[in-house]
């Protein structure tokens, strides 16, 4: 990008400098405009400047102080402060470089030979090295801090994500692949891959892809997967098919689903016909494993990362699940990548609110700083409440996951974790988009300018409601978790909420919030009792609002619990009460309006399609 020299109040590009300088000499001194001769004190708009992400995030630090054992807190505090400095002095610049230098696909070399090479910039490769050095995957599997290791990893990823130049995506899939291999008992054939995925050595560290989406389906892998696996005499398989979306196509390995062909070449359809495979993307010489790259996707955001369409033309792979158990085996990966999606959402929200806050302390309008305008600060405060709630929901999930991974989770903990993962993913994805757009507006026109970096954050945030399952897909998954547990999960959910509210009873300032929470829980309970006798379509129509209700109620309980700490601040109390002032149980409110009635589905279709030819 060209530099902009300061020429007495007029911003010029380098190519205009000589012309402007000549014109200045020709203009008589007494005819010059005052602005043209006045030295600029600064740019017209002050650039927001942030510091060490960890040290500036007082809410994060208060959470860690409350929950971590003292010895663990002492160690991680020192490392997080150091990591925060590295993010400030090194990683943020690399992230911007990744945005300015997206991957390039070179299909042929100079002599016409097909090479299908994806070239990434040096900053992207540096992100991979830093990820290994910081143990952004390894930390969760070394378990130096027992059940707190997963939470500590999540905190580092939360600090890293919004500065990572999109590298948080391959890390999500890498973590998911490591989790799948660990859940399989790390069989001998996969020990080498697991060691690479969890290595702290940049020369050994691998990233993994997650090749699920094909032309006929996104989330509907059961009916959309066409890839065929043919068994070879040596026990390996050859994969044939087309992958429509493969994020981080420059990864070292991938896990993918395929249908095993029998002796007659026939494949079983549906989810029971899917098996899970491991494959290396390239051999030791860097040649693709019988894979052809058709093109790189032209995306709205996450442009720093190579997302490709791939033809598998006999790619050598290893069957790692039981035959026909691919969907069940991949569920561990999906849980991890959905948690990473939540991490990305919360990290994005925190980054946008921090920038908006810093800008408000520097930008003057109508005779005073933005921070001195009450309406502006009310808007930022509402965003801050959303970030705090989302952060506590994230921490609750990784706390439960840490217990599960160290065999310390009760049956109730595991049921709650199963429910909260899709709830948190779908809700924080929507939260992040809303906060990002509101934060962009807080910058005025500057928020719309590409070189401020704000539009990059917007674009990269918008995908979070799509990755790892859209809002409606995950809302239906929430219903499945209820059905599978035969209602037990809701009993656990309500008991957990009540336990957290009980902690707030001794704090008088929180009484209004406790009352609103209890009313919301009562409304939710009544809805569930009534829905039990309704047709299936009623619950499906209510699925999104029901999931939102779970998210708001549980997050409210977490905020109340945090505000009930002995050393809680007035802002903790304020955030909890403000959260509880919203509609906490939208599913009950909509149920009363007839939105889920027998004729509602027909009315929806008529409303949407009535004026079309469909």
Over pLDDT 90: what percentage of the chain? 81
Closest C-alpha among 440, 384, 474 to residue 59 = 384
The neighbour count for residue 579, using CB atoms within 10 Å, is 25
Place of tokens 């590409």: 450
DSSP summary character for residue 584: S
- In this model, does residue 10 exceed pLDDT 70? no
**pLDDT category of residue 40 using cuts at 50, 70 and 90:** low
Its pTM stands at: 0.92
Distance of CA 465 to the CA centre of its chain: 9
Does 27 score more than 70 pLDDT?
no
> Domain residue spans in the chain?
470-598
What's the pLDDT at 521?
98
Q: Is 35 a residue whose pLDDT tops 60?
A: no
Smallest CA-to-CA distance from 206 within 173, 233, 182, 245 is with 173
pLDDT grade for 593, boundaries at 50, 70 and 90: confident
- Confirm if 376 and 69 have CB atoms less than 8 A apart: no
Using the Cα atoms of residue 505, residue 511, residue 515 and residue 517 in order, give the sign of their dihedral.
negative
Measured between alpha carbons, how far is 393 from 552 in angstroms, rounded to an integer?
10
Q: Which residues contact 486 (CB under 8 A, 6 or more apart)?
A: none
Q: Is the CB of residue 107 less than 8 Å from the CB of residue 115?
A: yes
Confidence bin at 44 (pLDDT 50/70/90): low
Residue with tokens 């090749």: 211
489 vs 412: CA distance, rounded Å: 8
pLDDT at residue 284, rounded to an integer: 87
User: What's the pLDDT score for residue 41?
Assistant: 52
Choose among 42, 44, 79, 77: nearest CA to 60.
77
Banded pLDDT at 33 (limits 50, 70, 90): low
pLDDT at position 45: 67
pLDDT averaged over every residue in the chain: 91
Q: Which residues contact 4 (CB under 8 A, 6 or more apart)?
A: 11, 12, 13
Give dist(CA 136, CA 198) in Å, integer. 9
Distance CA 507, CA 396 (A): 22
Cα–Cα distance, 333 to 185 (Å, whole number): 14
Q: Which two tokens stand for residue 545?
A: 């609002």
Between the CA of residue 293 and those of 104, 276, 310, 541, what are the distances in Å? 12, 22, 5, 40
Across the range 317-342, mean pLDDT stands at 95
360: tokens are 């408000």
553 phi, psi to nearest 5 deg = -70, -45
2 falls in which pLDDT band (50, 70, 90)? very low
Phi, psi dihedral angles at 48 (to 5 degrees): -70, 135
Higher-pLDDT residue of 11, 261: 261
Are the beta carbons of 289 and 279 closer than 8 angstroms?
yes
Would you mind telling me the total number of residues written for the chain in this entry? 614
pLDDT at 87: 98
Instruction: Report which of 606, 280, 309, 333 is spatially closest to residue 468, judged by C-alpha positions.
Output: 333
Alpha helices in 507-585 (DSSP H): 511-531, 536-563, 570-580
Provide the 10 A C-beta neighbour count for residue 243: 25
Over the stretch 106-118, which tens digit does the pLDDT of each residue have?
999 999 999 999 9
Contact in structure between 362 and 46 (CB atoms under 8 Å): yes
Contacts of 532 (CB under 8 A, 6+ apart): none
Rounded CA-CA distance 249/310 in Å is 9
Task: Give the helix/strand (H/E) hosting 313.
Answer: strand 308-319
User: What is the Cα Rg of the chain in Å?
Assistant: 27
């Amino acid at each position: 990008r060209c530099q902009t020299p300061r020429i007495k109040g007029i911003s010029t590009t380098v190519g205009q400098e000589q012309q402007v300088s000549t014109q200045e000499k020709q203009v008589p001194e007494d005819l010059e405009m005052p602005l043209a001769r006045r030295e600029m004190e600064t740019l017209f708009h002050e650039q927001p400047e942030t510091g060490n992400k960890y040290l500036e995030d007082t809410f994060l630090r208060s959470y860690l102080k409350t929950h971590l054992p003292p010895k663990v807190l002492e160690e991680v505090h020192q490392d997080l402060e150091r990591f925060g400095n590295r993010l400030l002095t090194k990683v943020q610049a690399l992230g911007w470089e990744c945005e300015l230098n997206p991957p390039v696909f070179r299909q042929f070399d100079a002599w016409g030979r097909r090479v299908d090479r994806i070239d990434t910039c040096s900053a992207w490769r540096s992100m991979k090295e830093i990820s290994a050095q910081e143990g952004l995957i390894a930390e969760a599997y070394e378990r130096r801090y027992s059940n707190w290791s997963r939470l500590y990893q999540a905190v580092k990823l939360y600090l890293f994500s919004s500065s990572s130049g999109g590298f948080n995506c391959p890390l999500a899939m890498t973590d998911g692949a490591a989790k799948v291999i660990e859940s399989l008992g790390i069989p001998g054939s996969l020990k080498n891959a697991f060691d690479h995925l969890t290595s702290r050595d940049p020369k050994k560290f691998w990233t993994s892809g997650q090749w699920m989406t094909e032309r006929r389906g996104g989330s509907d892998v059961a009916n959309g997967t066409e890839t065929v696996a043919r068994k070879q005499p040596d026990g390996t398989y050859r994969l044939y098919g087309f992958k429509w979306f493969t994020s981080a196509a420059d990864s070292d390995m991938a896990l993918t689903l395929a249908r095993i062909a029998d002796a007659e070449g026939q494949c079983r359809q549906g989810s029971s016909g899917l098996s899970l495979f491991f494959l290396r993307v390239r051999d030791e010489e860097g040649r693709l494993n019988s894979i052809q790259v058709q093109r790189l996707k032209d995306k709205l955001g996450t442009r720093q990362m190579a997302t490709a369409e791939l033809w598998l033309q006999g790619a050598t792979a290893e069957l790692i699940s039981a035959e026909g158990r691919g969907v069940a085996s991949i569920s561990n990966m999906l849980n991890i990548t959905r948690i990473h999606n939540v991490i990305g959402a919360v990290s994005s929200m925190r980054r946008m609110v921090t920038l908006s806050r810093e800008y408000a302390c520097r930008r003057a309008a109508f005779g005073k700083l933005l921070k001195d305008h009450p309406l502006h600060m009310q808007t930022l405060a509402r965003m801050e409440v959303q970030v705090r709630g989302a952060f506590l929901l994230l921490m609750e999930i990784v706390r439960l996951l840490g217990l599960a991974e160290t065999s310390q989770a009760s049956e109730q903990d595991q049921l709650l974790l199963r429910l909260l993962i899709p709830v948190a993913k779908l809700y924080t994805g929507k939260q992040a988009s809303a906060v990002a757009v509101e934060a962009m507006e807080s910058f005025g026109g500057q928020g719309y300018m590409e070189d401020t970096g704000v539009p990059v954050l917007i674009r990269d945030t918008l995908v979070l409601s799509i990755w790892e399952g859209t809002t409606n897909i995950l809302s239906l998954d929430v219903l499945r978790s209820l059905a599978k547990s035969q209602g037990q999960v809701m009993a656990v959910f309500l008991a957990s909420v009540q336990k957290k509210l009980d902690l707030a009873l001794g704090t008088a300032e929180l009484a209004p919030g406790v009352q609103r929470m209890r009313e919301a829980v009562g409304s939710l309970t009544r809805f569930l009792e009534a829905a039990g006798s309704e047709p299936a379509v009623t619950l499906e129509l209510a699925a999104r609002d029901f999931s939102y209700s779970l998210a708001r109620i549980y997050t409210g309980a977490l905020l109340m619990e945090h505000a009930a700490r002995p050393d809680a601040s007035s802002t903790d109390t304020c955030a909890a009460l403000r959260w509880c002032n919203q509609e906490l149980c939208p599913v009950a409110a909509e149920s009363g309006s007839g939105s889920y009635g027998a004729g509602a589905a027909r009315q929806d279709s008529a409303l949407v399609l009535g004026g079309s030819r469909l």
